[in-house]
Amino acid sequence: MTARLIDGKASAARLRARVAAAAGRLAAEHGRAPALAVVLVGDDPASQVYVAGKVKATREAGMISHEHRLPAHTPEAEVVALVARLNADPAVDGILVQLPLPSHIEADRVIAALSPAKDVDGLTTENQGRLAGGRPGLRPCTPAGCVVLARETLGRLQGLRVAVLGRSLLVGRPAALLFLAEDCTVTLAHSRSRDLPALCREADILVAAVGRPGLVRGDWIKPGACVLDVGINRVPAPERGEGKTRLVGDVAFEEAEAVAGAITPVPGGVGPMTIAALLRNTVLAACAREGWAPPADLETEPAA
Ligand code: GUN
């Protein structure tokens, strides 16, 4: 058996089209399109690529993009002051501070400065608490994208067993809570968990988000399971020439493909969903702040 490939690019394109339609309707009804401010501090190459992608996708969806690029040595207080200005700016609906920040800046302090109403990454304590409590709020983008892919692949998720590997603030923890909100039975596993392979083999949906290339082997996977690989790891690829690299996920793809029912490739699986979910959050943030009716086809999980 060979697993079905989950086409994240196609799913993301569909979600982006719905977001663009919603943004167009809002602009026609209310005289302005939703606006996203992106803050990038320093010149981390991967972050440059991600931010360029976010800016381009925002514009392509008919929304307004404000870009703030600050030099790597910018003091923390200046980043916090910029966030405070963006919080107060009525023309800005969403604020994204690209992570990681340079090491002299405490990410927690910058995140704490974000207005929860504009926190389109869902990283503030307020939005984390809302998610944990099953109340409405802005949800982290990558795990929200995972839920969309799982729903499109499997339909109703109620009662399914989910194993999430990795307990990061950006992906693992919120993924566990988002699948719980779908009435799944969730195991949140991490580097100290005992017998990871056995935990994974129980799962109808396996979400790998640890940042370790090829950690999840074929025999960790329940036959027929849906595998969502969030890992984006750059590894040497001497077969492509000296000094060349390639991107791989946290799942040993060829092994997993032979066992799983469906699997996301890396790249082209979960990755594209992150930006689509970010655009969706920007529209939802604009609606919540302005008191506009949120487009029904952009709603996320049902309220608990
Ligand atoms: N760095 C890698 N992924 C993300 C993300 O989803 N949001 C932010 N702010 N930074 C990131």
Total count of domains within the chain? 2
What's the rounded Cα separation, in Å, for the pair 204 and 223?
9
In a domain, 40, yes or no: yes
pLDDT digits 0-9 by tens, 156-184: 999 999 999 999 999 999 999 999 999 99
**Cα–ligand 1 centroid distance for 97 (angstroms):** 8
In a domain, 183, yes or no: yes
End-to-end CA distance of the chain: 37
In a domain, 48, yes or no: yes
**Ligand 1 neighbourhood includes 178 CB (under 6 angstroms):** no
Q: Where do the H-state alpha helices sit in the chain? A: 8-30, 45-60, 76-88, 107-113, 125-132, 141-154, 172-181, 196-201, 253-257, 271-290
**Does 172 share its domain with 102?**
no
pLDDT digits 0-9 by tens, 209-248: 999 999 999 999 999 999 999 999 999 999 999 999 999 9
**Ligand 1 neighbourhood includes 274 CB (under 6 angstroms):** yes
pLDDT digits 0-9 by tens, 239-262: 999 999 999 999 999 999 999 999
In a domain, 283, yes or no: no
Say what the pTM is. 0.96
pLDDT band of 296, cuts 50, 70, 90: confident
DSSP for 160-189? -EEEEE---TTTHHHHHHHHHHTT-EEEEE
Domain of 71 in residue numbering reads as 31-116
**Does 90 share its domain with 187?**
no
What's the rounded Cα separation, in Å, for the pair 181 and 194?
26
What's the rounded Cα separation, in Å, for the pair 90 and 17?
26
In a domain, 130, yes or no: no
**What pLDDT was estimated at residue 302?**
52
Residue from 67, 97, 99 to probe ligand 1 pocket by mutation (most atoms less than 8 Å from CB): 99
